[in-house]
Every structure is written in structure tokens, then in C-alpha cells.
Amino acid sequence: MTAIIEARNLTKTFGSTTAVDSVSFTIEENRIYGLLGRNGAGKTTIMQLLTGQDFATSGDVAVYGQSPVENAHVLQNISFIKESQKYPDAFQVRHVLASAPWFFTNWDQSFADTLLGEFRVPLKRDIKKLSRGQLSALGVIVGLASRAPITFFDEPYLGLDAVSRQLFYDRLLEDFAAHPRTVILSTHLIDEVSNLLEHVIVIDEGHIIIDSSADDLRGSAVTIVGKSVDVAAFVEGREVIHRDGIGGLSTVTITGQLSAADRQAATAAGLELAPVSLQQLIVRLSVLEDAATEGVLS
Amino acid sequence: MTLAPPLNPPSALRRIINVMRLHLVNKSVYIGIPWMIVAGALAVSVIITLLLRYVSGETEFPGMAYSWAVVSPLWYLIAAGVLAISTTLPFALGFSITRTDFYLGTSLLFVTVSAANALAMATLVEIEQATGGWWIGTIMFSALWFGGQTWIVNVLGFLVIQLFIFFVGALFAAVYLRWRVMGSVLLWFGVAAAIIGAVTIIVLTDSWVSVVGWLTTQTTAALLGWLAVPVALAALAGYFIVRRATPKN
């Protein structure tokens, strides 16, 4: 695996607010990354720093070993689709699609045309008159058809209906298989994309709290369901990240892998073992992180 | 190990031309609408001439030389200059265009559009004069000072006025994108302070007479030439401001 993006101690402050606080991470070639986190966690700011759209307060970004800032050699390889993309006032959809090939070397017009039909975006409509969903669809179409070696999607699905979102995931995966590239997707809908993601980076309040392969992460926790007494005995000495209970029953999520012996013991004790969804896991860990930073838990 | 970027950008010149094409992808903005305005203004001028002929029975209307119809497209171009930066720059960044390429391409657009319009307008002045005001005594293109100049002076005059409008509009938009409302307010205050300062100096040194005297010795061509100074300053300032501008939503 080859690293194509490296961030070192990357920091961005706006006045007294620290949006990104000394984060370091590496993005490897031809994988699909999820950049996850709550609203205002710093996802968009990180993407803007990686694409040279904003300037870091301190720290370094290297894309292909170079700074992306005002660097046409780097930017030629990047497509950055953001939820809040602005368009010139007088533009219609066709103007966006007509000019895209001048700027994206790998632009595939027939793919764009197909997507346009599938997402039902009218070619001759003023951008200002598009619905929120159509506007998002236009971004998705440009992001997919540009086939840039590094493609960023910053919450690309706002206003997209479930059918269109599924269409986006399907087309992304198909096109990724045919034309491998690096995709960095920021999203709230973690469960929807969890099968897509190969690597997950979770940001909270400008810090990275998780940077892990999606498979490792999925296997890193398990939920135990059963009688409170039995569950309590089983989780004794393990790291508990969530507890829930009703009457005499408990649902407890613990981190760490269970050995075969653990599993046998659990079954013998009449406990049920359930996998933890990526979304649940991230929510649990984010809450835990919040509590830790606020000193409620230690 | 790090990888070299797989895709190479086109040459710098090609990239700059592509930015100009991006501005012109919707032809109505810089070509269609301005010329529709000119056509509309000419139609109105012709109708007024016909009314005057009918009412007064005269065939020459020197009063029409004070009509401002000739500059009517300029008001629209102010907005076009502002929007070229304020909405097209954020869009261009989304197309992975560098700010430098964007500004140079936008400047090329301004120069190209201004030059084409200047050639056409100056030529229309000549045609209007040669045809005796479109055969009915209409004075539109040869109004204001444009009637008394040679073709080349008119070309340069139209050119510098349009460039002034484009680059000053773009500068204000760039200041807004870089420093938001506070920057824009300070810029307006700065312009006001400069004007008040100049007037104050003239008043305090009691030099109105010599200032006005100097102005009257300048030919129209020379005064237009002086306009090239703020154009160059605005264009240069815009470049450095845009290079660090960070459009937000």
C-alpha cells in the first residue's frame, strides 16, 4: 500500500475556535475512506485543508509528497464535491457538464450522461432552480464522472432520496472496481456506507478518535445480551463501552476480541453475542470520548 | 514511499484559457446580455429621434449628444465583474482550479471582452457618424466625448473604462471573499478617506484653481490614460488578494 496523503500535526483555528487540532493521519492509494464525525467535528475543514481550499494554521499536508496549496500538479488529480458547493448565478446544469472535461483529465462524458438520466437531473434547468436533492445529485455526477485519482465527497447526499442514495453507493462501488481510485467520503449515514468503507477515520472536536480499518473496527467490539447477573459476571475485567438494561436483562457492549473459549463460556452461561454495527460503535466511542474529555469518566 | 501525481495538468497557458472558457460557457453573461442592452438602448434612441422629428419637424438633434445610452451596458458589466469573482471563484475551486490560474484566466477574460467590445463600440461610433445618425440624426454611440475623438482613441477609451469597471468590481469582490464584511467596510472607508483627504489637501493649500486648470489642459485621451493607473493597481491588488482568499458558504 502506498501513502498518497499525509497530514502531520495539522491544525486550523478560526479566531478562538480550533476546528482541527494537531491531527496526523495517512491516506493510502485506491481505498475507500470514511471521514466520520458529528456536525462541526472538523470533517469539512480537514477536506478543505487537504485540497488546498483553506490554509493550515500550522502543521503539514503532503499530497503525492507535495503541498496541495496552489499546486496545479496536485490539484489536477483531485475532485472535491461538497454539499455546499456554489455555482455561478447564470449556470444551468449543462454548463457544469460542458466545462467539467476542461478541468478533469479522466472525465467520462458517456458515464456522466448515464448518471444524469439515472438521477433524473434536467440538463437545461438553472442551477438555482434545482431541488436540494437534484443539486446533490449534480455534485455526485461530477464527482463520479471526473474519475479523479483522489475523490472527496463531503456529505454528498443531502436531500437525496433513499433510491438515489443507493444508486450513488452502487455506482461508486462499480466504478471504483473498474477504475480504482482513492475515495474519501464524509457522511452521517454510517450504517448506509459501512459496507463501502475500507478504512474509517472518526473526528470529534478537531481530534481523531478512531483511525482504523473498517474490518478491525467491526471486530473490535461485541454486545452481550442476557440476565444481568450473568452478563455482569462475564464482562468482569473487560472494557465496557456501553450498558443498557431493562428489568433483569442487560445489554453490554465490550471492546476486544472474544476467544473461542470466551464464546463457549458465554453460550454455556446462556448469553447471546451480537455484532456491533459500525454506527453504534462510533456513537459509543464518541460519547465515551466526550465524557473523558469533560472529566466525567476517567 | 510516495507516489508521483498520476495526472499531469495542461500547460499554464492552456489552464488560463480554460478558465476564460469557463466564464464564457454561458455566452449570455459576457456577450448576449451586454449586446442586448446596447440593442435596446439603440432602439430607444431611434424611437426618441423619430418622436423628436415628428414633434419638432427638425432633422438634427445635438441635444442627444448628452445621452448616456452609450454607457448603458457598463452598469451591467459592473455586476458581471463582481460575480466573476464572488460566485465563479468558489465554483472554480470546486473544479480544482488554483486561485492563480483562476485570477489570470479571469483577467484574460476581462481584457478579451473589453477589447472586443471596445473595437465594436468605437466602430459603431464611426458608422453612426458616417450614416448621419443611422440616417435619421440619432446620436447614441457618438454621444458624450466619443463623437469628437479618433477611432483609435475611442477604442482605447472604451477599453480602459471597461477594464476599470471589471477590475475594480473584481477587487471589491475579492476583498469580500478574503476578509468578509469587515474588509469590505474598511475598503469603502479607505476609498472615502482617500477622496476626503485629497479634497482637504486641495482646500487647505488653496489649490482648486491650479487643479482645475491642470484638468482642463488634459485632453480627453490623456484623462482616459490616467484611468489606466487605478486599473493597473486594482488588477495587481486583486491578484494578491485572490491568491489567499478562502471562500466560505
- A29-88 tens-digit pLDDT: 999 999 998 888 899 999 999 999 999 999 999 999 999 999 999 999 999 999 889 999
ipTM of this model? 0.90
What is the rounded distance in angstroms from the CA atom of residue A154 to the CA atom of residue A33? 12
- The per-residue pLDDT for range B154-212, each reduced to its tens digit, is 999 999 999 999 999 999 999 999 998 999 999 999 999 999 999 999 999 988 888 88
Task: Of B90-94, B97-101, B153-157, B220-224, give the lowest mean pLDDT range.
Answer: B220-224
- Band (pLDDT 50/70/90 cuts) for residue B146 is confident
Q: Given pLDDT bands bounded at 50, 70 and 90, which one contains residue B1?
A: low
Q: Is B160 helix (H, G, I), strand (E, B) or coil?
A: helix
Q: Which of A13, A103, A152 to mutate to test binding with chain B, by most B CBs within 10 Å of its CB?
A: A103
A151 CB near a chain B CB, below 8 Å?
no
Question: Across the interface, which of A4, A63, A99 has its CB nearest the CB of B22?
Answer: A99
B99: nearest CA partner in chain A = A70
Nearest CA among A83, A63, A82 for reference residue A74 = A63
- For residue A75, the Cα-to-chain-centroid distance in whole angstroms is 21
Give the dihedral sign, CA B2/B7/B8/B13.
negative
Nearest by CB to B91, which of A54, A88, A105? A88
Say if residue A297's pLDDT is above 80: no
A233-242, B14-23, B121-130: least confident range: A233-242
Q: Kindly state the average pLDDT of the residues A199-208.
A: 93
Q: What is the mean pLDDT of chain A?
A: 92
In Å, how far is B89's CA from the nearest CA of chain A? 9
Interface contact A71-B94, CB threshold 8 A = no
pLDDT digits (tens, 9 = 90+) for B82-93: 999 999 999 999
A179 touches chain B (CB under 8 A): no
How far A211 CA lies from chain B's nearest CA (Å)?
20
Of B15, B25, B249, the CB nearest to A86: B249
Measured from the Cβ of residue A23, the count of other Cβ atoms closer than 10 Å reads 21
Contact call for B88 and A79, based on CB within 8 A: no
Of A64, A87, A106, which is closest to B5 when you measure between CB atoms? Answer: A64
List chain B residues with CB under 8 Å of A148: 7, 96
Q: In chain B, what residues touch A77 (CB-CB under 8 Å)?
A: 5-7
**The pLDDT value given to residue B70:** 85
Chain A nearest-CA residue for B92: A87
Separation CA A184–CA A27 (nearest Å): 9
| A232/A249 Cα distance (integer angstroms) | 10
Question: How many CA within 13 A on the CB side of residue A233?
Answer: 10
CA-based nearest residue in chain A for residue B11 = A72
Q: Which three cell numbers stand for residue A191?
A: 450504517
Q: pTM here?
A: 0.91
B85 vs chain A: nearest CA distance in angstroms?
10
Query: What pLDDT band is residue A291 in, cutting at 50, 70 and 90?
Result: confident
> Do residues B15 and A70 lie in contact, with contact meaning Cβ atoms separated by under 8 Å?
no
CA distances from B62 to A287, B137, B144, B216 (A): 80, 9, 11, 23
Q: What is the pLDDT of residue B249?
A: 52
Spatial separation of the C-alpha atoms in residues B151 and B157, rounded to whole Å: 10
Complete domains list, chain A, with CATH = 3-216 (3.40.50.300), 219-294 (3.30.70)
A226 pLDDT higher than 60: yes
Of A64, A72, A98, the CB nearest to B2: A64
What is the reported pLDDT for B66?
A: 82
Pair A29, A1: CB distance under 8 Å = yes
Average pLDDT over residues A158-187: 95
Smallest CA-to-CA distance from A125 within A95, A159, A168, A162 is with A95
- Cα distance between residue A37 and residue B190, in whole Å: 43
Angle in degrees, CA A206, A212, A213, rounded to 5 = 140
pLDDT band for A212, please (50, 70, 90 cuts). Answer: very high
Which runs of consecutive H residues, i.e. helices, occur in chain A?
Answer: 43-50, 72-75, 93-103, 109-118, 132-145, 162-178, 190-193, 214-218, 228-235, 260-268, 278-294
- pLDDT-above-70 percentage for chain A: 98
Name the DSSP class of B144.
T
Grid cell at residue A200: 474509517
Residues of B with CB under 8 A from a CB of A: 1-9, 12, 15, 18, 21-22, 25-26, 28-29, 83, 87-88, 90-91, 93-101, 243-244, 246-247, 249
Taking Cα atoms as reference points, which of B86, B85, B89, B104 lies closest to residue B15?
Answer: B104
The Cα–Cα gap between B88 and B100 comes to: 14
Residues 6+ apart with CB under 8 A from B50: B136
CB contact under 8 A, A54 and B29: no
In order of A111, B104, B179, B213, the CA distances from B237 in angstroms are: 42, 13, 14, 32
Tell me, what's the pLDDT at A298?
Answer: 41
Q: Answer whether A67 touches B (CB < 8 Å).
A: no
